[in-house]
Amino acid sequence: MSDADERQGSGRQHPGLSTFERTSIRQFDDPRLEWRRLFSEFFGTFLLVAVAAGAVVVDAAASGAVGRVASVTAPGLMVMAIILFMGAISGAHLNPVVTIAFALRTDFAWVRVPGYLIAQFAGAAFASVTLFAVFGPQAHDGATLPGPGFSDAQSFAIEALVTLGLVSTILGAASGAQNIGPLSALAAGGYVILAGLWAGPVSGASMNPARSFGPALVSGDYAHLWVYFAGPVLGMLVAVGVAYVLRGRGDPKARRAAEGNPLG
């Protein structure tokens, strides 16, 4: 089915739509408005990394006033907020492996993947530069690093495992509840908190190459960065395979969720 046919089909499937809602669908499908979706990914990733890395930086600057539990809870709450207030614009991927997972599931056009990845990495870098400008060098600029006593190999395995759970949660929510509603916001944000609580001491529970890239870029320390690229990519690939086993190929609702259309 062509994109034009799909847009027409959307109108047939929602005969009761208002003029505003029909206009919204056309805007989501309009390539001339791709800049809006890219800005959404840039801004959303900026906010996520500002909170995730910022909690680590502020904790160091304030002599432990934030605490580990708050540091792993804050990013999850930020994810919930971003999905709720901006998920309808771009799908609120905020993570390169999520974008690639949606594309592998045929829920997201491959031609749009490079733009999303650039926006996500740029947002993460800008957040890290902002934190450095405000607080100076603190706690490796909020970098995700293997915890004391844990090796790169152990951190790689944990990053793969927790990313498997994260991407599985997101793909599952998108196939039904959609990645723009309160249930999926709760699922994704809650999982981020859960993963941080048990896996944070091992690897930092990044699950997001962009989140790890920003602080590494600012600090200039790339020694462990491969862990936070290779681990999430492996976990994402396994999650896509699991999704195929559980639900088969992608579906129209999942595609609309991945692209950000609020009507499904």
Q: What is the pLDDT along the chain (264 residues), one digit of tens a residue?
A: 344 444 444 444 445 545 544 555 555 567 778 999 999 999 999 999 999 999 999 999 999 999 999 999 999 999 999 999 998 899 999 999 999 999 999 999 999 999 999 999 999 999 999 999 999 999 999 999 999 999 999 999 999 999 999 999 999 887 643 445 578 899 999 999 999 999 999 999 999 999 999 999 999 999 999 999 999 999 999 999 999 999 887 666 666 667 665 444
Distance between CA atoms of residues 53 and 158, nearest Å: 19
Q: Give the pLDDT of residue 174.
A: 78
Buried b (16+ CB within 10 A) or exposed e, 37-60: bbebbbbbbbbbbbbbbbbbbbbb
Q: Give the pLDDT of residue 183.
A: 80
Q: Give the pLDDT of residue 248.
A: 83
Distance between CA atoms of residues 215 and 129, nearest Å: 8
Which long-range contacts link 67-75 to residues 24+ away (Cβ below 8 Å)? Answer: 68/200, 68/201, 69/197, 71/196, 71/200, 72/192, 72/193, 72/196, 72/197, 72/200, 72/205, 73/193, 73/196, 75/48, 75/51, 75/192, 75/193, 75/196
Q: Give the pLDDT of residue 28.
A: 57
Reported as half-sphere exposure (CB side, CA atoms, 13 A), residue 59 has a value of 20
> Of the candidates 106, 104, 254, which has an alpha carbon nearest to the alpha carbon of residue 175?
254
Q: Give the pLDDT of residue 253.
A: 62
